[in-house]
Structure 1
Amino acid sequence: MKLAAVRGVTTVSLRSVQDTTTELLAVLTRVVGNDPTLEVTASQAAEVAHRQDAALVAVVEHPDADPGILVGAVIAAGTRMDAETVEEMRYHLADTNETSLREVTQAQTPKGHPVVIIERILLTGAQLQAIVTDPASSRAAVFTLHSPTGRGWLELAAVAGHVVSGVEFTAPARVL
């Protein structure tokens, strides 16, 4: 998977959980200032990212928002991700009784990749998941943006949307 550089998105390394935690904490502290909750936030995000074999961990910033954390991974979907499969996935996600689920939509990137977008409002902020599918294979790029406060949520989601819209699947297909 290739991603374009996007203003407001600061990536951190994935060398180790400790390195990811340290780098996330440094970026979050630069943006927010000293806050005792940032260490827990950075640590939890790093652990989840490494457990999920993430290909991307980044802090998303916007002047009118509190920062969010973006995690991205490429997964093998187990089935070819054609238009019918993507529509079925959107339908099943939208048909859940999950109370935090706010919206499930479907779109297409400028490069022609179908995307299912799931927005949740949680007790611990807001979450956006974007599943970008590769119609030529059985893989998908899954991005999760989490904003612990939800302040400036639409602005953060727009910045993350620029990352998602620029996804390019590299050949040959492989799981990162």
Structure 2
Amino acid sequence: MRIVIVFNHPYEGSFCNAILQAVTKGLEEADHEVDLMHLDNEKFNPAMSQADLKAFVAHKPIDPQVIDYTERLKKADHFIFIFPIWWDIMPATTKGFIDRVLSPGVVYDHHPRGFGLVPLLKNLKSITVITTMNKPKWLYSLLIGNLIRKVMLKSVFGTMGYKKLQWISFTSVKSVSQEKRVKWLKNLETRFANFN
């Protein structure tokens, strides 16, 4: 399968980067084709310009990088998003990717009856979101309300009509032991080495 990984973390020594390496290694062990969109290294601009918005409304992207990303998304069987949770939500660059790249006419369209959206990526079988945060799981769930589940799974991809959605959440990352982090990474590698 062709797997597109959308990665967002500016620090190479981050746990997110270790996750990226583990996931990629597992996928490559299973002979999947990995297409990495490293938003930080590729200097993706998350800000929607006036010209971008006009292109968004017209369903015709004009930014060469956005066009490149959309063409690659069309060929994907699976998406994997990897990013940290900052202030209880995704970083601005990931949000900008959603705003500027996951656009109508490419990823979804409006239902012909005028209500709701329909998915356009016919090859896309499933989507996985992998996040890290320093809050404990219970605190994020109880006080904040699992915003990633609400935004990424229910609001963005659920509204677009995509069905097989999964969120893998690593919490209390700074406070857990190194042994536990290593175990998480090994489990991820195994999980994606068996991915189909």
TM-score (structure 2 length as normaliser) = 0.26
Q: Which one has the bigger helix percentage?
A: 2
Q: Which one has the bigger strand percentage?
A: 1
Structure number with larger C-alpha Rg: 2
TM-score (structure 1 length as normaliser) = 0.28
